[in-house]
Amino acid sequence: MPELPEVEVSRLGISPHLVGQTITSVVVRQPKLRWPVAEELKQAEGQQIKAVRRRAKYLLIDIGVAQIVLHLGMSGKLRVVPATLEPIKHDHLDIVLGSGKCLRFNDARRFGACLWQADGETLPQLENLGPEPLTESFTAQHLFALSRGRKAPVKSFIMDNDVVVGVGNIYANEALFMANIDPRRAAGRISLQRYQKLAKEIKEVLASAIQQGGTTLKDFTQSDGSPGYFRQHLRVYGRAGKACEACEGIINSVVIGQRNTFFCPRCQR
């Protein structure tokens, strides 16, 4: 599933092709995605794209009167291609631009979304979200304050979008390893000092993944079709049974919150 770095890489990849362009038409081939494709999309025709922003794992294409809100779901891909290029299987949506190109949304599993957010309104999906992890509003003090009394595992805690957005499974595993924190440990039993380390590592692992182009797993590619390269730097994720790069102990795997979780029992406590 594309996580925050992959979504941010997509934003960086498509923005130069979209900002300043006028939307000439919207072509919907498959209206049934995770939620029905917004009928209001036709109102985007003739509007100029002002900006492409990201909130959590949602991309917001700002056209002044509204935002077209895209979510990549589990397998979604965005490409900027000539509008005359024949669509392939699972190419569900085109936003056609005055440049002769289009933003094409492909989603094999159809868990993605294309929604409409009128200016001044907020979609339910974007309400009550925590701070962005790469901003100054995300701090150790924020984590510490929200964690008091929490019995849930710290991994589940930092993956809660009400706490902080965009820390998905891969990067939660990696940040907890770098911070030497056992993912099974109760969130409420972690000190402020240790949350200072964890907040720092969350920022660093996400920033590094964005810089390196996102993580290529099964489905994600960048907007130009090239893969992300962060996977080669994963320290624990997907490495169960292999030697820890730090201590040469064996990486363990457990299930936390229905997600595979990887950690080194020697390094993490």
Cα separation, 209 vs 204, in Å, equals 9
Identify whether 31 is a catalytic site residue.
Answer: no
224: which residues sit within 8 A by CB, 6+ positions away? Answer: 13, 79, 80
CATH of domain 4-126: 3.20.190.10
Bigger pLDDT: 20 vs 3: 20
42: number of Cβ within 10 Å = 11
What's the whole-number average pLDDT of the chain? 93
Domain ranges of the chain: 4-126, 140-263
Q: Is 148 annotated as a binding residue?
A: no
Q: What is the pLDDT of residue 6?
A: 87
Identify whether 242 is a catalytic site residue.
Answer: no
Given a cut of 80, whether residue 193 has pLDDT beyond it is: yes
Helices 192-211 and 140-147, axial angle in degrees (round to 10) = 130
Q: Is 53 annotated as a binding residue?
A: no
Bigger pLDDT: 225 vs 80: 80
Catalytic annotation, pick one of 2, 5, 133, 183 = 2
Catalytic annotation, pick one of 54, 57, 101, 104 = 57
CATH of domain 140-263: 1.10.8.50
Identify whether 2 is a catalytic site residue.
Answer: yes
Percent of the chain past pLDDT 70, that is, above it, reads 93
Q: Is 150 annotated as a binding residue?
A: yes
pTM attached to this predicted model: 0.88
Q: What is the pLDDT of residue 215?
A: 59
Q: What is the pLDDT of residue 212?
A: 81
The length of the chain in residues reads 269
User: pLDDT confidence of 42, banded at 50, 70, 90?
Assistant: very high
Identify whether 57 is a catalytic site residue.
Answer: yes
User: pLDDT confidence of 3, banded at 50, 70, 90?
Assistant: confident
Q: What is the pLDDT of residue 112?
A: 95
pLDDT tens per residue, range 129-167: 999 999 999 999 999 999 999 999 999 999 999 999 999
pLDDT tens per residue, range 7-26: 998 999 999 999 999 999 99
Percent of the chain past pLDDT 90, that is, above it, reads 86
Mean pLDDT of 231-248: 91
Catalytic annotation, pick one of 50, 184, 185, 259 = 259
User: pLDDT confidence of 261, banded at 50, 70, 90?
Assistant: very high
Mean pLDDT of 18-37: 96
Given a cut of 70, whether residue 222 has pLDDT beyond it is: no
User: pLDDT confidence of 233, banded at 50, 70, 90?
Assistant: confident
